[in-house]
Amino acid sequence: MDELKIEQERVYDVIEKIERTSNDLRDKMQNVASDIIHIRKNFWEDVRVNFDNADDALETHMSLRQQTELLSERERSHQHSNSRLRVLEKLTYTPYFGRIDFLEEGEKDVDCLYIGIGSFHDEETDQFLVYDWRAPICSLYYDSSLGHASFKAPNGTIEGDIQLKRQYVIRNGQIRSMFDTGVTIGDEILQEVLGNNSDAHMKSIVATIQKEQNKIIRDEKHRILIVQGAAGSGKTSAALQRVAYLLYRYRDSLQADQILMFSPNPLFASYVSTVLPELGEENMQQATFQQFVGKKIEKHLHVEDPFSQMEDILSSPNNAKVEEMQVKASMDFMHMIDKYVTQLQHDGIVFKDITFRGRTLLSAEQLTTEFYAMDHSTRIPNRMRLLAEWVMKELRMQERKERQEAWVEEEMQLLNKEDYMDAYHKTQESDNEFTGYEQEQNLLAAQVVADHFKSLYKRVKRLRFVDSFETYKQLFTRSTELPKEMCDRSLGRLNENKLSYEDATAYLYVKEVIEGLGRNASVRHLFIDEAQDYSPFQLAYLKKLFPHCKMTLLGDLHQTIHIQAMQTNFLTGNALFDPSKTETIILKRSYRSTEQIIDFTRSLIPGGHEIEPFNRKGSKPLVVNTTNIQQQVENLKKHGHGTIAIICKTEKETKEVYEEFGKSMSLSMIEKETTSLQQGVLVMPSYLAKGMEFDAVIVYDASNYVGENERNLFYTVCTRAMHELVICYTGGMSDFLKEVPASLYEHGR
């Protein structure tokens, strides 16, 4: 029997056992689901409720707890089984994609290991028929060639010999191709995967992980992992597989909600949302930096989003605005704030009056006097806590006085019967010998005032008597280091309760230095995608906010599109951390685009010759002097592309294209609020294309990209194309295009 037939018989056998296990699991899930429905329906019937005495109350509490725990256990079991079933269903179509035959040193028998997106254990034979790609031994598949090899197991390093390394392309249970390979994942399987059309969601890359990507995925040693990757090098995909690996490796101690990823925009969160569930894992927390910051800032303040900022700069370049953005993004500005905070130790913090029913109970002057009477060597947040305790004592005295006010008597007359009964029971429980109408009235008054003071006490605990915003504004009236014009512009916005994007992080830093930095201890792994667009100030702020978690920073210096980050290098993020705990990995090979597109795009940027194209052939980019894109779209549709993106420079331009061509071409417009991606013909502004990929890209009017500040943006837009790239322009050809050798593109008409 030939090798292919033997392998196909094994596939059939494994799939049959997987299907049998899946059916058993479905039956189990159905029973568990019935249990859950029964418990919910009969919850109170199965609980003995009796509060007549302490023993009965305790028994009731224990009964409630048992029922709640039983329900939670059944729900967890159902959720776990459902995740397992999703993996088994994937394995039914493609049970595995790789195989290694490994002879461990000191052993006589060769271990034949088949590798898939999840493990499958055959209960009858007590054997693993499929190994999860994240298992330690499977690192051999990604990292090692034939011959001597080793891998790190939980109990130490295992040495041995790889005697066979085989790859499969299996679809719907049929082996389409099978080949033995040496050092790394063969180009054949990559050619097939990369040649497919794009989708509305990012795909898992476990079958095609490259050695350098595997290094990112399995790194456990370093606290900070910095990845500089060329466009299309798979850095984001590797990051998601890294999340899956960490959840597998530390499944007993790490939960998905302890991992946080900062995405470049809301659309991207949807784009990557299916990768982890495909691997049987829950999605980690995701947010944009803007969303994260916005939750910490008072609702009455309007915070500029980075896309509006980009739109302003791209539409009407403003040197003064750019200078201000870069100053406030710098570490020098953070050091300036630190000096300001040192001054605030002695004077300058702005407080608010504490008022009740239109009257001032404690004035801002009283709070200021009390605060600055404390030891100046005590940290500001600690003094704030002490001040809050003093305020609470003062308010309790005020609360007792308030009971004599006329409004209390008036409100007592409006109390319902239940309130009166509550007061009556309290008089009965009192140790005071006298009980009667007078005491009842006193208790009622106390209850009325206490209800009104609850929100006051809550605000004091949250330090709402501190005016951090006014304190931040004061920085620009006191500063001698910032230009007066910059201070005046800043104050103009702040007086209108507006925070520019670069002010938002700086304000939060001041706020949290005064009130106490709300350090996050629950997040254990922080992933920052498109890290090149984060300013030094933002990265330093995140370091202070997440002092104990591990960080993975992913980016590409050539795709830096935000002005405030252009003068910096996120690779120097290791300057913020201990170099001995920081690892930097460079990914130079690009897989997304065809060789012809990569040759074209790398000629747009300095140092582009270092980018290595994957050997996938295609047509040269087409450069056309036109903005009538309808014909270009029709041509691309004929080639069978599922997603065609028309990328404009600005939102204004995007809307103009949508209005002109929307009906005739059935366009979908992508805006900054868009949270899901559909297949078809899309139109979007340049800055929302970050991190995305499309079968074909039409760059709308490349003539609009001018000046060095927009070189990276133009490069980023062009690198979104997987199979075909069309660049339209009007009038004279863009300076960026003039730098590209004419042999690297076709000039259409």
- Binding-site residue numbers for ATP are 229-236
CA-closest candidate to residue 701, choices 630, 614, 613, 628: 628
3-state secondary structure 546-563: CCCCEEEEEECHHHCCCH
Q: Which two tokens stand for residue 381?
A: 């947040």
- N-terminal to C-terminal alpha carbon distance within the chain: 58
Say which residues have a Cβ less than 8 Å from residue 597's Cβ, sequence separation at least 6. 618, 621, 718, 719, 721, 724, 725
CA 174 to chain centre: 37
Question: What b/e readout covers 486-516, taking b as 16+ CB neighbours within 10 angstroms?
Answer: bbebbeeebeeeebbbbbbbbbbbbbbbbbe
Alpha helical stretches, state H, 604-700: 630-638, 651-665
Query: Which residues are part of a known binding site?
Result: 229-236
User: Distance of CA 404 to CAs 322, 328, 435, Å?
Assistant: 59, 52, 20
Residue with tokens 């993106």: 645
**Total length of the chain:** 749
Cβ-contact 258, 616 below 8 angstroms = no
Q: Which residues neighbour 236 within 8 Å (Cβ) at sequence distance 6 or greater?
A: 202, 272, 529, 554, 691
379 alpha-carbon distance from chain centroid? 33
Q: Where are the alpha helices (DSSP H) in 413-436?
A: 417-429
Residue 710 CB neighbours (<10 A): 20
Segments of 375-460 assigned E as strands: none
The DSSP bridge partners found for residue 179 are: 167
